[in-house]
Amino acid sequence: MSKERARRREQREREAAVRAAARAEEEARRERRDARKRVLSARLPSRAGRPTGILAERRRKQTGVTIALLVAINVLVWIFLGDWASRAGALVVSLLVAPVLHLLLFKP
């Protein structure tokens, strides 16, 4: 009976050693991958974040209002005018007029 227990214990220890070796290998692989990522990210330029603050928020809102107004105008043109040429023309004109409209709506 004790020989059988010793044999099972030895087998469990062998299996545990194999699992530990696999874990150690996976950990080493993960460390190498993380080291490569750190080296690569150190070489890349950092991204500038989105501007924050009151002025940036106001600018985003104003741009959103201008875009929403232009989209609404284009939707109305698409609904009421069936000609593709007039629809395309309205789209082109709205793209060209967008900066002027933005300036007229929100004078600095």
Domain spans, the chain: 1-47, 54-105
For the four alpha carbons of 65, 69, 75 and 78, in that order, the dihedral sign comes to negative
CB 103 within 8 A of CB 64: no
pLDDT at 108 over 80: no
The pLDDT of residue 7: 87
Is the pLDDT assigned to residue 82 strictly greater than 90? no
Find the helix or strand (DSSP H, E) in which 93 lies: helix 84-105
pTM strictly above 0.75: no
Residue type for 45, please?
P
Matching residue, tokens 């007229």:
104
What is the tens place of the pLDDT at every residue in 23-48?
999 999 999 999 999 988 888 888 88
Q: What is the mean pLDDT of residues 66-95?
A: 94
Say what the pLDDT of residue 28 is. Answer: 94
